[in-house]
Amino acid sequence: MPDSTKTLCPYCGVGCGLDVSPTVKQSWKVTGDRVHPSSLGMVCVKGATVVESLEKDRLRYPQFRENLSAPFKQISWEEALTKIVERIQTVIATQGVDGICMYGSGQLQTEDYYIAQKLLKGCLGTNNFDTNSRLCMSSAVSAYGQNFGSDGPPCCYEDLDLTDCAFLIGTNTAECHPIIFNRLQKHLKRDPKAKLIVVDPRRTKTAEVADLHLAITPGTDIDLLNGLAHLLLRWGKLDQDFIEKHTQNFADYKNVIPYYSPEIVTAKCGISLEDLETAARYWAESEQVLSLWSMGLNQSSEGTAKICSLINLHLMTGQIGKSGMGPFSLTGQPNAMGGREAGGLSNLLPGYRQIVNPQHRAEIEQAWGMPSGRINPLPGRDAWGMITGLEAGDVGLFWIAATNPAVSLPDLERVKKALAKSPFTVYQDAYYPTETSAFAHLLLPAAQWSEKTGTMTNSERRVTLCSQFREPPGEAIADWQIFAEVGRRLGFRHQFPFKNSAEVYQEFVELTRDRTCEMTGISHERLLKEGPLQWPCSDNSNDLENHSAKRLYTDLKFPTPDGRAKFVPFHTKGLAEPPDRDYPFVLTTGRLYGHWHTQTRTGRIEKIVKMHPQPFIEIHPKDADFLQIVDGDNLEVRSRRGRASFPVKITTAIKPGTVFVPMHWGSLWADQTEANALTHAIACPISLEPELKACAVKLIPHCFP
Ligand SMILES: Nc1nc2c(c(=O)[nH]1)N[C@H]1C(S)=C(S)[C@@H](COP(=O)(O)OP(=O)(O)OC[C@H]3O[C@@H](n4cnc5c(=O)[nH]c(N)nc54)[C@H](O)[C@@H]3O)O[C@H]1N2
Ligand SMILES: Nc1nc2c(c(=O)[nH]1)N[C@H]1C(S)=C(S)[C@@H](COP(=O)(O)OP(=O)(O)OC[C@H]3O[C@@H](n4cnc5c(=O)[nH]c(N)nc54)[C@H](O)[C@@H]3O)O[C@H]1N2
Ligand code: SF4
Ligand SMILES: [Mo]
């Protein structure tokens, strides 16, 4: 293997470049890759420590058991693959192909994703492939589709250096996308006229440094966004020319906005009139407004509506298509973007295509050498639909890859019961144990980042090659190879001829030709030679350099039938489960700087465990006084679905009436501190993304019965 390898950090969607080199002690040294255009040599604590997690507690061999109370026994790959193939054939014969479900994640590489689509949606003919992106990015996907006619974040990181108003809503960028935040902060220091607005019910590390922090009541984002539009309209701060030439449906938007007067909005959001006006003034006076958002908008029962309301503001003020501006969705996982490109949700097909579109289905069937009509015309089960499918006995094979649903899905007690009912669960992961392995019949050891070669796409649409630099442990192999081998054994030999992941990628990019996410100009070979590349990037020129675009829609033509972006107005519906007399507090959940999700890696890194040794609940001093609790007391939290308890952390950083707990602690790492024991699964009707950011709870100090 080479001395030093350039790769990508396998944690968040910032997508920082890493340089990894072997050390004399048979270990690895990680530094930031100075020439990676997205991160310019910077890394945060997670990227810097990632190699410390690669050896411990790895799943090394396939293992099997007949039922969940039996111990696992090591088996060979041959036996494991035979079991899967037989199971697939049995389910097809007894229940039909839709009895098969696969639940993946944004931590798979694009090649893994693509092969899974081909196997499930093409060869088998079921659209029951969904991922944890349903809990993460699907609202952004839907909203971009509604306003612009296609998914695709239009901005790039250079915009962070150029904007004169950064509008951060529902994102704790400082902790969750730290290198993006560093870059933005540098710019704000250099240009004191540039403003930072942060909209978050908590005074996060991000909000602490803002020029204006709007600590809105959870679930009032649409009120705020339409309220800002109300003031801009009143002040005549519109871009009439842009609206007339490049948009449609403004009249409908104008009919909705009058309902959001400053009086109503400030009362609902719990903010002052002065702050609302200041935010509107910053927006109106700025040449370049860049909005960034993540889970505070996406994870909501009106997630799509929240984001459309934000994009509407950009359209009204013409803040799109030029440098330093635009609505920029920050993607969470390292390859959430690649998953979308490969069609990795139950309503999508590769190349930003839609299952419900007959032409899209036909194009993919043809490319895959499948008979016409093979791809089911209806979307498959989404993540929660797989859980209800298990409950109803409609799922005969549940195949989970690269995610830990026994921690990360909402309404966890219900999820665990459903998982326990599964007649046959395959769990393909890199580590053992995880909370989900307790619910598996067959464990498949997956090679993870560093042990396989493939691509990932970051938030600014930049594709990086993650080259292998270590051997996988035991018998672990790459996810795409597992899927392809199952496909071949099912008789689809011609569909899976690939010798390596470069060939997989080559086939995949062909399916992006002439699509918004065109990548025909990208190949493993070119990435290795030239470094990371942004799409759109086509192969239809001799001068390939010019065909990697920093921004989308610079010509102000949008991928809608008439080429215009659309105003998509929404009224607010508020929280799906608002607080009431029985459950008077709103619980919100989220992340800490050092930990990654369910701790499969970071829980095994000493430095990070020291940084965040235990879970906690944040509560405002007023609420703590009322409950007569002090810092460190144990507080029981109950929702309509479950309970958990946490040491108390009293802080004015949270709004009275709201409490916060981190999402990182599953049952493996602490007792009864699962955020998702409390949350509910009510989802946005358009994106089907659950409202992981809010549920109603009551708080019971430990001294009370
Ligand atoms: N350190 C770390 N970084 C990560 C991850 C990690 O696990 N750890 N995971 C990655 C992934 S997959 C993701 S998706 C991203 C998530 O990145 P973020 O979205 O930034 O993270 P969260 O903490 O989930 O939520 C963001 C904020 O939403 C706020 N919020 C809650 N309710 C509302 C509301 O109604 N309105 C508004 N405006 N805000 C609200 C919360 O207070 C919280 O501060 O992070 C990525 N980066
Ligand atoms: N309450 C609450 N719940 C949430 C959220 C929240 O904000 N609040 N956020 C949601 C969001 S945005 C997300 S993204 C999810 C994340 O939730 P999960 O996806 O459940 O979290 P991870 O811990 O990242 O799990 C990834 C798994 O993939 C494995 N893995 C890593 N690399 C590979 C690989 O190459 N191949 C295979 N096969 N396995 C691999 C790891 O070992 C790990 O077990 O949580 C969601 N749940
Ligand atoms: S900011 Fe994200 S991608 Fe960059 S080093 Fe940290 S976790 Fe990795
Ligand atoms: Mo996520």
Q: Give CATH for domain 63-134+334-451+471-516.
A: 3.40.50.740
3-state secondary structure (DSSP) of residue 163: coil
**Which of 596, 693, 695 gets mutated to test ligand 1 (max ligand atoms within 8 A of its CB)?**
693
What digits encode the pLDDT tens for the residues 182-211? 999 999 999 999 999 999 999 999 999 999
In this predicted structure, what is the pLDDT of residue 705?
43
Angle (deg, nearest 10), helices 262-269 and 221-234:
160
Does 339 contact ligand 1 (Cβ within 6 A)? no
In this predicted structure, what is the pLDDT of residue 306?
98
Q: Tell which phi-psi region holds residue 26, choosing left (phi > 0), alpha (psi between -120 and 50) or beta.
A: left
Closest C-alpha residue for ligand 3 atom 4: 16
* Ligand 4 centroid, distance to 15 Cα (angstroms): 14
Ligand having the closest approach to the CA of 661: 2
Closest C-alpha residue for ligand 1 atom 8: 596
* Ligand 4 centroid, distance to 99 Cα (angstroms): 27
In this predicted structure, what is the pLDDT of residue 167?
98
CATH architecture under which domain 138-329 falls: 3-Layer(aba) Sandwich (3.40)
Residue 313 has pLDDT above 80, yes or no: yes
In this predicted structure, what is the pLDDT of residue 397?
98
Residues 6+ away with beta carbon under 8 Å from 465 = 6, 7, 453, 454, 455, 524, 527, 528, 532
Residues 6+ away with beta carbon under 8 Å from 352 = 150, 151, 152, 340, 341, 343, 512, 515, 516, 517
* Ligand 3 centroid, distance to 8 Cα (angstroms): 9
In the chain, domain spans: 5-53, 63-134+334-451+471-516, 138-329, 585-701
Ligand having the closest approach to the CA of 214: 1
Residues 49-55: what's their mean pLDDT?
95
Residue 446 has pLDDT above 90, yes or no: yes
Does 585 contact ligand 1 (Cβ within 6 A)? no
What digits encode the pLDDT tens for the residues 93-143? 999 999 999 999 999 999 999 999 999 999 999 999 999 999 999 999 999
The rounded distance, in Å, linking the Cα atoms of 403 and 430 is 10
Residue with tokens 């909203």: 143
Does 334 contact ligand 1 (Cβ within 6 A)? no
Percentage of residues in the chain having pLDDT higher than 90? 97
Q: Tell me the fold of 5-53.
A: N-terminal domain of TfIIb (2.20.25)
Closest C-alpha residue for ligand 2 atom 32: 448
Residues 413-429: what's their mean pLDDT?
98
* Ligand 3 centroid, distance to 108 Cα (angstroms): 16
In this predicted structure, what is the pLDDT of residue 541?
65
Task: Give the model's confidence band at 3: pLDDT under 50 very low, under 70 low, under 90 confident, else very high.
Answer: confident
Does 663 contact ligand 2 (Cβ within 6 A)? yes
Does 341 contact ligand 1 (Cβ within 6 A)? no
CATH architecture under which domain 585-701 falls: Beta Barrel (2.40)
* Ligand 3 centroid, distance to 14 Cα (angstroms): 6
Residue 581 has pLDDT above 70, yes or no: yes
Distance, C-alpha 199 to centroid of its chain = 20
**Which of 337, 404, 501 gets mutated to test ligand 2 (max ligand atoms within 8 A of its CB)?**
404
Residue 545 has pLDDT above 90, yes or no: no
Mean pLDDT taken over the chain: 97
Among 1-10, 426-435, 526-535, 688-697, the range scoring the smallest mean pLDDT is 1-10
Does 590 contact ligand 2 (Cβ within 6 A)? yes
- CA distance readout (Å), 540 to 341, 363, 495, 537: 20, 20, 26, 9
Does 402 contact ligand 2 (Cβ within 6 A)? yes
Ligand having the closest approach to the CA of 291: 1
Q: What is the CA radius of gyration of the chain?
A: 24
Residue 542 has pLDDT above 70, yes or no: no
